[in-house]
Structure 1
Amino acid sequence: MEELENSPSSSIDSSSHPPISSSSSSSYNTRRALSTDLQLGLSLSTSSFQANSPTERTESLFVKVYMEGIPIGRKLNLLTQDGYQSLIRTLQQMFRTTIVYPDVCQNPSTTANVLTYEDKEGDWMMVGDVPWELFLTTVKKLKITKADKC
């Protein structure tokens, strides 16, 4: 009977090795988290692929529109507009303000505003200075400013 109590295998098993359950549970959790991440990634790319299919494809050109004195900007899809007149009409309704065309800026009133835009080079220009199609390819951001500053 004494031989069983002094066996080297019983002392090695209990003292020198960490419990098997803790190491296997951490690797299981790592695999589970990785599997979850992969599943989420696959589902996201699948849905984005379906949204970009030719049958459901919607074109948009969203830009941020800011108004002087208002800290929060709004997004506007420029492709829903027919041209400058439609754009200015939409912004007048959105911001509940008067926006004048650049040629009217000769006699600025205290309540009138003008519409400017930032192009891809970072320059600020008056809206209406270039043809609509060229404007759509260069605009990055819109800003409504006081007419007396033009």
Structure 2
Amino acid sequence: MNSFDPQRQDLLKQRWQERRQITGAASTSSSLAGFPGLEDDDLVSTVVPAVTVVLEGRSICQRISLHSHGSYQSLAKALREMFVENAEDSDDFDLSNVIPGYLIAYEDMENDLLLVGDLSWKDFVRVAKRIRIIPTKTNSRKGSTGA
């Protein structure tokens, strides 16, 4: 059972609520008594670890916490800072042009490889377990005449 398993998340949520009842904290579904403004979903998200970022062709991976970003734009900026030397400061990046010559994809809980940006941000954060940066296909027959 991995940490992204919805059943595990439900179990952690249930244990948290049971602990709150034992300690005498009031049970509310909208916020947690000891943590003003912290929603139940936020509690579950805090136990989800950072995801691995793999740039194909490099032997060392990076880790990034998706919960520290609020949008795909913020993620794009962080990825650019990680992998592009002399990255210019700009907010004009999206995931299609953040790393020239590469596509940004992710593996979900079922190990499917999907393009980043196909889900809402909140859903992406819940299901992504690995980000893969894949080179775009180039013509491998450069210079051939085809004769």
Q: TM-score, normalization: structure 1?
A: 0.51
Are the counterparts in 1 of residues 72 and 95 from structure 2 also a CA contact under 8 Å? no
Distance 2:125 2:54 in 1: 17
Distance 1:66 1:144 in 2: 6
**Aligned position for 1:116:** 105
**Aligned position for 1:73:** 61
Aligned counterpart for 2:50 among listed residues 62, 76, 91: 62
Q: Does 1:101 align with 2:89?
A: no
Distance 1:139 1:101 in 2: 15
Aligned counterpart for 1:89 among listed residues 54, 77, 80: 77
Aligned counterpart for 2:119 among listed residues 130, 139, 142: 130
Q: Tell me, which stretches of 5 or more residues in structure 2 are unaligned?
A: 1-33, 36-42, 88-92, 139-147
Are the counterparts in 2 of residues 114 and 145 from structure 1 also a CA contact under 8 Å? yes
Distance 1:146 1:132 in 2: 23
**Aligned position for 1:34:** none
Distance 2:57 2:84 in 1: 13
The number of residues matched between the two structures is 89
Query: Helix, strand or coil for the counterpart of 1:94?
Result: helix
| Partner AA of 1:95 in structure 2 | F
The 3 A distance-change label for structure 1 pair 90 and 125 is same
1:147, distance to aligned residue in structure 2 (A): 2.6
Query: In terms of Rg, which structure is larger?
Result: 1
| Partner AA of 2:66 in structure 1 | L
Are the counterparts in 2 of residues 100 and 114 from structure 1 also a CA contact under 8 Å? no
- Over the matched positions of the two proteins, sequence identity in percent amounts to 28
Are the counterparts in 2 of residues 100 and 112 from structure 1 also a CA contact under 8 Å? no
Distance 1:124 1:100 in 2: 19
